[in-house]
Structure 1
Amino acid sequence: MEPIDFSKAKQEGKGFQFPGEFEITAVGKASANLPTHVPQLLERAGLHVFHETVRHRQSGEGNFVSVTVSIRCESREQYEAAHTALRENPDIRYSM
């Protein structure tokens, strides 16, 4: 997976504004208990997780689950670290 290039948005003053609260979603194996693990992975990466915002949804056949949670990021680097922490987990297919 290629990293996202935010350089153009930075130059034009567009994109996310930091610090801020953002939603992040991870999609992966339904058997991996991701509704519990995603917030833990994000906290281990040093992010503030708003646990009351955690929500999940299973795929039609029940093989996959998407987990969405709100996090507080002080910088773009912290936001990118959140995605890195999720994508490094073998049970997570992708994050957005």
Structure 2
Amino acid sequence: MTTIDDFDAMTDDDFTDFVYARRRPDFAVGDGQRMAMVRAHEAWVASMGEDERESIDWNTETHSDWDLYAELRMNGVDFDRVALLEAISAL
């Protein structure tokens, strides 16, 4: 299974090529990580103009973990990496 760390390590060009090749990786995240991505997605959508928001289905409930990650990454939207935060909290 491919992880966020694996995709984060890719250059933007390599990641874009991967997405445009329409690859569907075996990619899943835990509930905490998904919620971090959903929160970032919701904040990003809220910052858009009304016309932009109305033209696309922004419902995160229908997005797979991969769809959320790819959409955030392709649009330069940062989000918390829960595993990293949990590791820091454990110190």
Q: Same fold (TM over 0.5)?
A: no
Name the structure where helix makes up a greater proportion of residues: 2
TM-score range, shorter chain: 0.3 to 0.5
Name the structure where strand makes up a greater proportion of residues: 1
Normalising by structure 2, report the TM-score: 0.34
Normalising by structure 1, report the TM-score: 0.33
